[in-house]
Structure 1
């Protein structure tokens, strides 16, 4: 197995990742429950409340459905400016990373985990940091390549 990718992640890729992490956590589940509860409250009590409370109810629903994703995307747009273009070379013994002329080598035994999402693979080098490979970066054989990489991480 030898793969080499030169890339820089996009704002949408970072947004997609943070959105997935949020909505697969306890906070995301609470957001979903709150949104459905607010929709149920709106549909059952709309005719009984005054205009001020209607505006608050609509705002509460829109916060999680519209405003929160918009804020997450803006944060991703800001974060993408701090990312550097990097070259990731995945070989039999480990990963070589090159960014701004600096090289780093990570043995497969030091890689903490690999997590697959929809069209995306995260290679965690520790509990909070890692490298994001997406379908756009890897190409049409991304499923086979992701399986090869995950095999090296687990093996």
Structure 2
């Protein structure tokens, strides 16, 4: 349990410190090429969800995010088998959700900055959510 709490707090800290660094050193809309055409830092303030969905409904979006986290915890507690892989992927998913929820509560938007040029701009919390989700999908796919 302690190791998963450590992973949770480390992931949330990494997400928040990376966003703080971007916010402190860049202006919204500014781009810095790391590798031209492949990777850029692009500072965006996203008031919505994926692709800016629900941008005009920030409180609804926050309620939906909190409800999903609560639902995930209920499903985990009551229905999922307990093993290290499920625990790890759930912790990644929850730490990513927490990082973006912190932004929404604190700022009213989420700071995005990783720009791969072929995908919408995202942040570390989104990476954690994606890794956690993919890990869960792989586990359940193997169980079928």
Does the TM-score normalized on the shorter chain lie above 0.5? Answer: no
TM-score of the two chains, using structure 1 as the length reference: 0.23
Normalised TM-score (structure 2): 0.24
Instruction: Report 1 or 2 for greater relative contact order, CA contacts < 8 Å, sequence distance ≥ 6.
Output: 2
